[in-house]
Amino acid sequence: MKAPPPLCLQALHRIAFPHTLYQICLTQTHVQRHYTTSTRAKNSSNDRSPPRTLKTPSPPQQPPKPTSTSPPLSRQPNEPGFRTRAKSDDDEDHTPVPLSRPIGMPTPPQPGENRGLDDRSIKKRRDDFVDYDKHLDRRAKMTKQISKPYFRDWSNLRFHKGKVFVAPERLFRRESALWFPNFFGRTLRKEKGRDGRDRYGGLGRDTLVVMKGKVNVVSLVTNAWAVNQVQTFTSRKENPALQAVVEENGGLVQRVEINHEANVLKYWILRLFGLRSLRNARSSEEQGRYFIVRRGVSEVMKEALGLMNEKAGYVYLVDQECRIRWAGSAIAEPHERESLVRGVRKLVQEIRVEREEKKTAARLEDAVKETMVEENEKKAAAVA
């Protein structure tokens, strides 16, 4: 039997001892590196530039881990469905604080104000249209209105449920309190007035006429979300003490509801499909105190009343002179309900004291008149 050829022996040796193959490869690599180094050494005499160092590859960067300060998501990133937006760095974290000063208009309201009707003549409209200064004013107002995001108020509801301010513990003083403006809108009653050009089909009314001379718990809403927030202040279930005070002093305390709807489409939907349900839920007297306002609410009025978020609900305590003595916003807190009830009772007491003083003054005037009449009769008898 002949011996296997050398190549076959070499292949069998490498299969039987694989580490030997690794040593051979390592030796060849060492020889290659030595050859490259020697070649660079030979060329270093011609090129005196410093040898180039090899850069080690940097490890791949991992995405930063979320910090503990960021709010957790309602769902995992890989789960399907709705996921709430996490709070970003540019979000304004508004913390509501109690009202430190009175809010309202600086001038008392007048009947017929804020109707939202243009009573200018054609010549006056033409002059105002070509006036460049007024054109700049209109353009500034339009720019401000367009630049306001539509969903800004809705997105701000995630901060304290849209609460702008906290109700004060005490009433504003009568001398320093400001006035509640006059709103003009249609009521739920079907009785038409004398003015048929009010663009409400003759059903337009002034809130000033209804509120004058009484203690008014006024609610201002723009949507169903705001209605639910207002009910936390005034409903029988949430605040039974307020309902008890209203029933005890029914002739002095009343609720006034204002529904402001500036969107034409929503206004007509409410008028066509919502008036019947609103009437059925209220008595005839309450229907006359429910106002649906479409026009006449300016930005000045909104800022004066503290309407920083129009999607939230607001409650105002207005006295017999239409002065704002107390205000609350969004969802009521327990101490806010208590302060509202205390304020209503105090205003009722002020009305009763004022009426007693007027009666006493009237009695004194009558007594003085009777005394003057008797003295005149005595003088006339003495002369006769």
Q: What angle do CA 185, 214, 262 make, to 5 degrees?
A: 20
Residue 163 — pLDDT band, cuts 50, 70, 90? Answer: confident
Q: Which of the given ranges, 66-70, 149-153, 162-166, 197-201, has the highest pLDDT on average?
A: 162-166
pLDDT of 186 strictly over 50: yes
Residue 69 counted as domain residue: no
Domain range spanning residue 166? 151-360
- DSSP conformational letter for 287: H
Residue 50 counted as domain residue: no
Residue 318, pLDDT score: 95
Residue 75, pLDDT score: 46
pLDDT of 362 strictly over 80: yes
Neighbours of 196 (CB within 10 A): 12
Mean pLDDT of 71-91: 45
Mean pLDDT of 29-40: 43
- Beta strands 314-318 and 215-221 are antiparallel
Residue 36 counted as domain residue: no
pLDDT of 72 strictly over 70: no
Residue 228 counted as domain residue: yes
Q: Which two tokens stand for residue 70?
A: 């960021």
Which of 84-98, 227-241, 302-316 has the weakest average pLDDT? 84-98
pLDDT of 1 strictly over 80: no
**pTM score above 0.95:** no
Which of 150-159, 248-257, 350-359 has the weakest average pLDDT? 150-159
Residue 162 counted as domain residue: yes
Partnered with residue 98 across adjacent β-strands are 166
Q: What is the mean pLDDT of the chain?
A: 78
Residue 305, pLDDT score: 92
- Beta strands 253-260 and 215-221 are parallel
Number of domains in the chain: 1
Q: What angle do CA 195, 201, 203 make, to 5 degrees?
A: 70
Residue 26 counted as domain residue: no
Residue 262 counted as domain residue: yes
pLDDT of 81 strictly over 50: no
> Position of tokens 């409650």?
315
Residue 5 counted as domain residue: no
Give the chain's count of helices (H) and strands (E).
13, 7
pLDDT of 55 strictly over 70: no
| Residue 19 Cα distances to 31, 32, 174, 303, angstroms | 18, 20, 101, 86
Which of 22-31, 237-246, 268-277 has the weakest average pLDDT? 22-31
pLDDT digits (tens, 9 = 90+) for 320-358: 999 999 999 989 999 999 999 999 999 999 998 888 888
In sign, the C-alpha dihedral spanning 121, 124, 126, 132 is negative
Per the model's pLDDT, the better-predicted residue between 11 and 233 turns out to be: 233
pLDDT of 6 strictly over 60: yes
| Residue 367 Cα distances to 66, 105, 362, 377, angstroms | 84, 41, 9, 15
CA distance 180 to 110: 11
The CATH number of whichever domain residue 253 belongs to comes to: 3.40.30.10
Residue 24, pLDDT score: 47
Instruction: Please provide residue 178's backbone torsions phi and psi, each rounded to the nearest 5 degrees.
Output: -100, 170
In sign, the C-alpha dihedral spanning 302, 305, 308, 312 is negative
pLDDT digits (tens, 9 = 90+) for 128-143: 888 888 888 888 888 8
Q: Which two tokens stand for residue 289?
A: 């105190």
CA distance 204 to 346: 32
